[in-house]
């Protein structure tokens, strides 16, 4: 049968032409099948559906396969009689399960509607991140929709990392991910001998259901819980971070040259005489950007050379697939999980001094007011003249250090030009109204046994900010270039606050006699103006934290909605292709424009969501490791008293960030006093009903450490003594906050606002 002989009803399919391109005899599209079921408004069995769509007998098998695929995707389902129905007509909702450590969970609907509460009984059928079909069965006492699981559509957990527990000869594995709250029974295996307390990887061979717990078999024994580096091994597996390169990737990497060949320089601009330098942290090993600046008339020339990773990592290569899967490098304390193999990240693509390197260059002309008047992108070959550090450069700029070598002495005019340009760019940034939250990041110092010896603050100096401004300028040029030539890419987008968060912020600020300008649509300039207004207040830390938490998280998207925090109409990531996959895609997009072709790696939307996910995944994994290490560090200090500030207020208590050790822990609500305390998420406070005692974000407390539990990762405090400043009556004024350093966990929370910052240990901020 040919397409011409298909009935008019089949050809009425709105997506007929699309299906005809794929198949010789096109079946009805999924959309058309759903349309017909919707129009009929009743359950329809297979034979009747075939009649409605004029399906021939020889097409039955193929049509059944399509319907089966639609069932698996929860686009339709069958009732008890086997008739096809639309899930939404049966009050069924499709979504992803999110477990909670206390046993209950939620269904996060695919359609973005309100979450459904699932009680502990329902959660026995599923594990965290499974996909399921759920029926709404009522509303719980908190007014939340409550659901019952009808069908599990997709299992998300095949392997789980956890600790071995042995009770009465029965071996179970307790998952490290607290959202998976079911222990996994281990089938007896004489070959695998494990001891209680060991950390293992278990493969789930039978998923849970209403009547039985999950069953698994141990496939890897990682070691003992307190072994050095075990916290990283657990985090890698708990968050499913790829950490081993495949054989294909290894083979492709071996085939790459060990140095830049003469032929590779053909067609590239030769910048080997230009005194470009890299400026990074002391511990950095991969150098992906080099800079040069000089005075040009009344303005400036700024050259930013970025490692040309796209020359070596091409579409279709195993290296490219692996880089996309990883999404970014992950920086743990003392260990890095790189996006690319070491031969590339620390070799061919690392801009080491005195060797030829390939680069993509953004060459800019900047006015004396900091405006980018012109720019040009081109491939180049160059030689970095020196590998400099932030502290070294700041020492020269401030006069605290003098150059120790002849090469460094020759570079002084270049450093002075960079610093002069930086001050121009910084002034333009202030005029633009970009938000600049001040946070103190921390660094862990380790002993010879791999455990924390101390936690110290890391302060950013003007050398950090100098490089940051150069990178911002190059990123803005990259986004403008691609937008101008209508080449799709991944923008780095950051939307303004939601109406709900904005209302909460304004209500909070009103208590302090403050207001945020901009009406219903405030800009970054309005935020920046308020930050300037409050910076000398004693409660500035409290107010800044509330402002930061009102903002959304930055992400990657092909839809350019601008960057709210930086006050840019368009912005993308161009400057770190060694450690971020979106930057590699931007390089390819720029090259495509230069070559007069169009670059499409696939569905840009999906790639953007994936890269945003891998970024969050990396943040969560590093946060887990930091928390574990801090917990281990604090075990020897139980009983000690500390000064700190309230860094977060939650329904079950307040988190306190300690001043001296940069660690954060919980004072449970039951430890706040003999009173009933009401949580107020708008005012960021706990308020005692009887006493009027108030615990607010930013308040000063003296606490005593009572618990540092490695298994749960919890650090618990109790109040060491009553603090007079936190006892206030209703309608009190500003909080007498003393500025204190934030813990590393608090800094991570801050990232979820204008979230483009980067650890001070060596890399630039993630703008």
Q: Tell me the pLDDT tens digit for each residue of 259-292.
A: 999 999 999 999 999 999 999 998 888 899 999 9
pLDDT digits (tens, 9 = 90+) for 585-596: 999 999 999 999
- On the question of pLDDT at 363 being above 90, the answer is yes
Residues written for the chain = 767
- On the question of pLDDT at 739 being above 50, the answer is no
Residue 475 Rama label (left phi>0; alpha psi -120 to 50; beta): alpha
- On the question of pLDDT at 467 being above 90, the answer is yes
CB of 460 closer than 8 Å to CB of 394: no
The rounded percent of the chain whose pLDDT value lies above 90 is 61
The rounded percent of the chain whose pLDDT value lies above 70 is 92
- On the question of pLDDT at 609 being above 80, the answer is yes
For the beta carbon of residue 588, count every other beta carbon within 10 angstroms: 21
Q: Average pLDDT for residues 23-40, to the nearest whole number?
A: 84
- Looking at 570-713, which runs of residues are DSSP E strands? 641-650, 653-658, 664-668, 677-680, 685-688, 694-696, 700-709
What integer pLDDT is reported at residue 752 of this predicted model? Answer: 34
- On the question of pLDDT at 166 being above 80, the answer is yes
What integer pLDDT is reported at residue 376 of this predicted model? Answer: 97
- On the question of pLDDT at 475 being above 90, the answer is yes
Q: How far does CA 188 lie from the centroid of its chain?
A: 39
What integer pLDDT is reported at residue 5 of this predicted model? Answer: 61
- On the question of pLDDT at 314 being above 60, the answer is yes
Cα–Cα distance between 699 and 649 in angstroms, integer? 11
What integer pLDDT is reported at residue 336 of this predicted model? Answer: 94
Q: Average pLDDT for residues 28-53, to the nearest whole number?
A: 86
DSSP-assigned letters across all residues of 1-42? --GGGS-HHHHT-TTHHHHHHH-SSPPPPHHHHHHHHHHHTS
H/E element, 290: strand 289-296
What integer pLDDT is reported at residue 483 of this predicted model? Answer: 96
The two structure tokens encoding residue 319:
């290296």
CB of 765 closer than 8 Å to CB of 751: no
What integer pLDDT is reported at residue 228 of this predicted model? Answer: 84
- On the question of pLDDT at 380 being above 50, the answer is yes
pLDDT digits (tens, 9 = 90+) for 206-234: 999 878 889 999 999 999 988 888 999 99
Confidence band for 135, pLDDT divided at 50, 70 and 90: confident
Domains annotated for the chain, with CATH where assigned, are 3-86 (1.10.10), 91-154 (2.40.50.140), 159-225 (2.40.50.700), 625-751 (2.40.50.140)
CB of 359 closer than 8 Å to CB of 381: yes
Confidence band for 559, pLDDT divided at 50, 70 and 90: very high
Average pLDDT of the chain is 88
Confidence band for 731, pLDDT divided at 50, 70 and 90: very low
What integer pLDDT is reported at residue 4 of this predicted model? Answer: 57
- Looking at 370-424, which runs of residues are DSSP E strands? 372-383, 387-389
If we measure between CA atoms, which residue out of 499, 649, 487 comes closest to residue 570? 487
Q: Average pLDDT for residues 701-711, to the nearest whole number?
A: 92
- On the question of pLDDT at 192 being above 90, the answer is no
Cα–Cα distance between 189 and 191 in angstroms, integer? 5
What integer pLDDT is reported at residue 391 of this predicted model? Answer: 94
What integer pLDDT is reported at residue 392 of this predicted model? Answer: 95
Q: Average pLDDT for residues 502-507, to the nearest whole number?
A: 91
Give pTM, 2 decimals: 0.81
Q: Average pLDDT for residues 549-565, to the nearest whole number?
A: 93
CB of 763 closer than 8 Å to CB of 330: no
Tokens 């990657």 sit on residue: 556
Cα–Cα distance between 634 and 722 in angstroms, integer? 23
The residues pairing with 380 across neighbouring beta strands, listed in sequence order, are 269, 359
Selection from 150-159, 223-232, 432-441, 553-562 with the highest mean pLDDT: 553-562
For the beta carbon of residue 613, count every other beta carbon within 10 angstroms: 13
The two structure tokens encoding residue 143:
């007014």
What integer pLDDT is reported at residue 3 of this predicted model? Answer: 57
What integer pLDDT is reported at residue 730 of this predicted model? Answer: 34
What integer pLDDT is reported at residue 528 of this predicted model? Answer: 92
Which range among 172-176, 541-545, 555-559, 573-577 shows the weakest confidence by mean pLDDT? 541-545
DSSP state of 255: H
Residue 747 CB-density burial (10 A; 0-12 exposed, 13-18 middle, 19+ buried): buried
- On the question of pLDDT at 645 being above 50, the answer is yes
For the beta carbon of residue 718, count every other beta carbon within 10 angstroms: 14
pLDDT digits (tens, 9 = 90+) for 339-350: 999 999 999 999
If we measure between CA atoms, which residue out of 371, 364, 475 comes closest to residue 427? 371
Q: Average pLDDT for residues 42-69, to the nearest whole number?
A: 87
Q: Average pLDDT for residues 422-429, to the nearest whole number?
A: 95
pLDDT digits (tens, 9 = 90+) for 80-121: 678 888 876 666 788 999 999 889 999 999 888 889 999 999
DSSP state of 725: G
**For the CA atoms of 81, 83, 85, 90, what is the dihedral angle to 10 degrees?**
-10
- On the question of pLDDT at 614 being above 90, the answer is yes
What integer pLDDT is reported at residue 767 of this predicted model? Answer: 54
The two structure tokens encoding residue 506:
């304004």
Q: What is the CA radius of gyration of the chain?
A: 29
pLDDT digits (tens, 9 = 90+) for 287-307: 999 999 999 999 999 999 999
What integer pLDDT is reported at residue 187 of this predicted model? Answer: 83
What integer pLDDT is reported at residue 736 of this predicted model? Answer: 33
pLDDT digits (tens, 9 = 90+) for 507-532: 889 888 899 999 889 999 999 999 99
Q: How far does CA 733 lie from the centroid of its chain?
A: 37
- On the question of pLDDT at 621 being above 80, the answer is yes
Confidence band for 604, pLDDT divided at 50, 70 and 90: very high
């Amino acid at each position: 049968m040919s397409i011409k002989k298909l009935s008019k009803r089949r050809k009425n399919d709105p997506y007929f032409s699309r299906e005809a391109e794929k198949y010789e005899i096109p079946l009805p599209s999924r959309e058309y099948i759903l349309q017909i079921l919707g129009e009929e408004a009743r359950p329809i069995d297979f034979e009747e559906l075939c009649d409605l769509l004029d399906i021939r007998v020889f097409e039955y098998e193929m049509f059944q396969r399509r319907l089966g695929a639609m069932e698996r995707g929860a686009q339709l389902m069958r009732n008890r009689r086997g008739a096809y129905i639309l899930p939404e007509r049966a009050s069924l909702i499709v979504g992803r399960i999110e477990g909670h450590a206390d046993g209950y969970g939620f269904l996060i609907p695919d359609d973005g509607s309100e979450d459904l509460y699932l009680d502990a009984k329902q959660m026995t059928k599923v594990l965290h991140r499974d996909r399921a079909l759920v029926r709404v069965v009522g509303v719980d006492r908190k007014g939340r929709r409550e659901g019952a699981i009808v069908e599990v559509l997709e299992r998300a957990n095949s392997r789980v990392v956890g600790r071995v527990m042995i009770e009465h000869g029965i071996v179970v594995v307790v998952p490290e991910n607290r959202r998976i709250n079911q222990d996994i029974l281990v089938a007896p295996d004489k070959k695998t001998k494990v001891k209680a307390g060991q950390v293992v990887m278990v493969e789930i061979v039978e998923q849970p259901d209403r009547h039985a717990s999950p069953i698994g078999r141990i496939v890897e024994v990682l070691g003992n819980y307190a072994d050095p580096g075990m916290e990283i091994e657990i985090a890698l597996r708990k968050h499913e971070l790829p950490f081993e390169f495949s054989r294909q990737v290894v083979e492709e990497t071996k085939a790459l040259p060990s140095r830049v060949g003469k032929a590779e320089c053909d067609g590239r601009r030769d910048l080997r005489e230009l005194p470009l330098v890299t400026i990074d942290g002391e511990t950095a090993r991969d150098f992906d950007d080099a800079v040069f600046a000089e005075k040009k008339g009344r303005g400036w020339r700024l050259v930013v050379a970025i490692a040309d990773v796209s020359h070596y990592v091409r579409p279709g290569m195993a290296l490219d697939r692996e880089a996309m899967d990883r999404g970014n490098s992950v920086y743990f304390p003392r260990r890095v999980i790189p996006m690319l193999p070491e031969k590339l990240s620390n070799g061919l693509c690392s801009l080491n001094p005195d060797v030829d390197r390939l680069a993509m260059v953004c060459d800019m002309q900047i006015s004396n007011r900091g405006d980018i008047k012109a720019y040009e992108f081109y491939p180049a070959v160059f030689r970095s003249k020196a590998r400099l550090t932030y502290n070294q450069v700041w020492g020269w700029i401030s006069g605290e250090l003098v150059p120790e070598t002849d090469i460094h002495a020759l570079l002084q005019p270049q450093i002075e030009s960079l610093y002069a340009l930086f001050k121009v760019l910084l002034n333009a940034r202030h005029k633009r109204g970009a938000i600049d939250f001040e946070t103190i990041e921390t660094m862990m110092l380790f002993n010879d046994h791999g455990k924390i010896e101390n936690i110290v603050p890391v302060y950013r100096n003007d050398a950090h900010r100098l490089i940051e401004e150069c990178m911002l300028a190059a990123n803005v040029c990259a986004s403008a270039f691609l937008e101008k030539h209508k080449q799709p890419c991944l923008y780095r987008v950051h939307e303004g606050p939601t109406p709900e968060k904005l209302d909460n912020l304004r209500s909070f600020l009103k208590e302090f006699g403050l207001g945020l300008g901009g009406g219903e649509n405030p800009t970054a300039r309005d935020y920046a103006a308020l930050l300037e207004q409050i910076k000398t207040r004693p409660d500035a830390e409290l107010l800044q934290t509330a402002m930061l938490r009102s903002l959304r998280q930055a992400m990657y998207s092909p839809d350019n909605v601008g960057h709210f925090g930086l006050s840019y109409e368009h912005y993308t990531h161009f400057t770190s292709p060694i450690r971020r996959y979106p930057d590699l895609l931007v390089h390819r997009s720029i090259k495509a424009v230069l070559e007069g072709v169009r670059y499409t790696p696939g569905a840009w939307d999906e790639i953007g969501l994936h890269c945003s996910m891998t970024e969050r995944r990396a943040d969560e994994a590093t946060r887990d490791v930091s928390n574990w290490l801090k917990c281990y560090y604090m075990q020897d200090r139980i009983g000690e008293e500390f000064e700190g500030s309230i860094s977060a207020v939650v329904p079950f208590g307040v988190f306190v960030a300690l001043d001296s050790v940069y660690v954060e822990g919980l004072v449970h609500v039951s430890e706040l006093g003999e009173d009933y305390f009401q949580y107020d998420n708008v005012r960021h406070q706990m308020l005692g009903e009887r006493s009027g005692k108030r615990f607010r974000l930013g308040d000063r407390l003296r606490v005593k450490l009572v618990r540092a539990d490695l298994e749960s990762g919890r650090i618990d405090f109790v109040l060491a003594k009553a603090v007079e400043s936190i006892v206030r009556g209703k309608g009190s004024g500003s909080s007498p906050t003393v500025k204190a350093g934030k813990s590393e966990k608090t800094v991570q929370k801050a990232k979820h606002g204008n979230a483009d910052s980067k650890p001070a240990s060596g890399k630039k901020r993630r703008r």
